[in-house]
Amino acid sequence: MNSFVNRISARFFKDKAVGVFQEPHVSQPWRVAVALCVVAAAWNWSHSWFAAPRKDYQVEGYVHPAFEEVRDVFKESLASGAEGGASFSVHHQGQVLVDIWGGRADPTTGALWQRDTLSQAWSCTKGLAAVSLAMLVDRGLLDYEELVTKYWPEFHQNGKDNITVGTLFSHRAGLISLGRQISLQEYRDNWPEIERLLAAAKPAWNPGSHYMYHAFTFGMYADAVVRKVDPKHRNISQFAREELAEPLGLDYYIGLPFDQHYRATKAEYVSMIRLFLSTVLLRPERWHWLPEALFGNRLQDSVSVLDIYDDMSLMEDPELRSIGLASMVGFGNARSLARLYDFIGNNGSVQGKRLLSEEQIKYLTMPATVNASVIVAPDEDFTMGLIDAKIHGRRIAGHNGYGGQSGFADAEAGIGVGYVTNFNSVYADRFDPRMLNLMQAFYNGFSKYRALKSN
């Protein structure tokens, strides 16, 4: 059963005598009916998700006097039950304007979120991968316009000879699957086989003509390319830690070390199937996804690369959390994301410290997919590894993550923003209302802040 609707049927409608539905006995209209029933159920789930009020948690941390409304909005989010535990931070040209946290770091014990709490930021980790690649381009070790085969000759297989580095890392290459499912343990323990699978993968469309989110393979290809071009042949976890996180003082890891696990949150999860259904259901303009989602293979192939894809709660395992897959296994806090994106929002330089050249900032912030047609992807465009989007009418560049995580830059305001939560919602491919409410409160105070700053 290759289509997403068959997966839905298998997950939600099992017969104890015969197992999941068998292909010959399920008509196409019945598949549609099953899928629509589940979609209807998702509507109820998505509206009941934030229903239970919580304890009156304190909001800890700092807000500049111009942004007291941000603290109030965060506190209300905790009190209403919309938020379980989170951190939120905004940096402006090296200045910390907001850095707050609160709620539960562990919903099972009630342990509270602390200043140094780490939480899984999921696909926000792709942002660190994108910046790592941009650093290699800046150093002359990689070029977005060059063919991938220049750096990785074995990549030429199955019609990939003409794929450039830029095509690969703007989600246009069609390399959404590996031909078979893998585990995180295999990714860690058998890199030669993973590299072989990546090199042998066959594009799902003519590279460059379409784009679709490479949910899991993006970080794998980033890892492979970093290992090829880095003079020290470090993996992306090591490179990002030594060249990006440590120099900038980011408390962020691609693959959480065992000795840091005690700081990490426990999370509340949304299943991938529920996530997909709610995403489509809540956005009618995305109903054109349905033919591909229900009867095609590409969405299913993309999201099922890893064997844990439909049970993300398995990521509570410290062993899995330690594996440096840059697509999703990133642990950090809002403060670190805000500091990183402060550089992106200020042309690569903050307080005299330069992270990237202005040319690389353009690659990271300018859309690369405007001349390609979308298959199934967010409504925004992709840049060289980031997402180009708008919030509250302002253009931003960054990356979202499963459950509502966000990290992004607003170049007009010159800010970097981070939001990390362990109370995962159905908002992954678009911005979470909890974060949007915080940003609205922030923008409400931004003109006041500028006025105070000018005096």
User: Is 80 a residue whose pLDDT tops 90?
Assistant: yes
32 exposure class (CB count in 10 Å sphere: 0-12, 13-18, 19+) = middle
Is there a single domain that holds both residue 170 and residue 233?
Answer: yes
- Of 416, 297, 434, nearest to 351 by C-alpha is 416
Domain that holds residue 127: 63-271+311-455
Is there a single domain that holds both residue 237 and residue 342?
Answer: yes
Is there a single domain that holds both residue 318 and residue 289?
Answer: no
Is there a single domain that holds both residue 197 and residue 288?
Answer: no
Q: Residues 224-245: pLDDT tens digits? A: 999 999 999 999 999 999 999 9
C-alpha pair distances (Å), 367 with each of 170, 253, 360, 396: 9, 27, 13, 11
Q: Measure the CA–CA gap between 84 and 414, rounded to whole angstroms.
A: 29
Q: Is residue 49 part of a domain?
A: no
Left, alpha or beta for 385 (phi > 0: left; psi -120 to 50: alpha)?
Answer: left
Is the distance from CB of 86 to CB of 438 less than 8 angstroms? no
> Residue for token digits 């343990």?
185
Structure tokens of 91?
A: 């940096």
User: Is 26 a residue whose pLDDT tops 50?
Assistant: no
Is the distance from CB of 177 to CB of 302 less than 8 angstroms? yes
Mean per-residue pLDDT, 172-183: 96
Is there a single domain that holds both residue 182 and residue 305?
Answer: no
In order, the DSSP letters of 130-165 are: HHHHHHHHHTTS--TTSBGGGT-GGGGTTTTTT-BH
Is there a single domain that holds both residue 276 and residue 232?
Answer: no
Per-residue buried b or exposed e for 50-83, using 16+ beta carbons within 10 Å of the residue's own CB: beeebeebebbbebbebbebbbebbbebbeeebb
| pLDDT value at residue 5 | 47
Q: Residues 431-445: pLDDT tens digits? A: 899 999 999 999 999
Is there a single domain that holds both residue 10 and residue 148?
Answer: no
Q: Is residue 57 part of a domain?
A: no
Q: Is residue 315 part of a domain?
A: yes
Listed in sequence order, the residues at least 6 apart from 295 whose beta carbon sits closer than 8 Å to its beta carbon are 3, 5, 28, 31
Listed in sequence order, the residues at least 6 apart from 146 whose beta carbon sits closer than 8 Å to its beta carbon are 164, 165
Is there a single domain that holds both residue 240 and residue 276?
Answer: no
Q: Measure the CA–CA gap between 368 and 377, rounded to whole angstroms.
A: 14
Give residue 369's Cα distance to chain centre.
18
pTM of the model: 0.88
Is there a single domain that holds both residue 195 and residue 132?
Answer: yes
Is there a single domain that holds both residue 227 and residue 296?
Answer: no
Mean per-residue pLDDT, 43-52: 46
User: Starting at the edge strand that comes first in sequence, how are the strands of the sheet with 381-382 ordered?
Assistant: 59-63, 95-103, 85-92, 415-421, 405-410, 394-401, 387-391, 381-382
Is there a single domain that holds both residue 164 and residue 278?
Answer: no
Final residue in a domain of this structure, among 310, 337, 370: 310
Q: Residues 362-419: pLDDT tens digits? A: 999 999 987 777 765 556 799 999 999 999 999 999 999 999 999 999 999 999 999 9
Is the distance from CB of 437 to CB of 77 less than 8 angstroms? yes
As beta bridge partners, residue 100 has 61, 88
Helix (H, G, I), strand (E, B) or coil at 94: coil
Q: How many domains does the chain have?
A: 2
Is there a single domain that holds both residue 321 and residue 425?
Answer: yes
Q: What is the dihedral of CA 334, 337, 342, 348, to 10 degrees?
A: 170
- Of 313, 311, 314, 278, nearest to 49 by C-alpha is 278
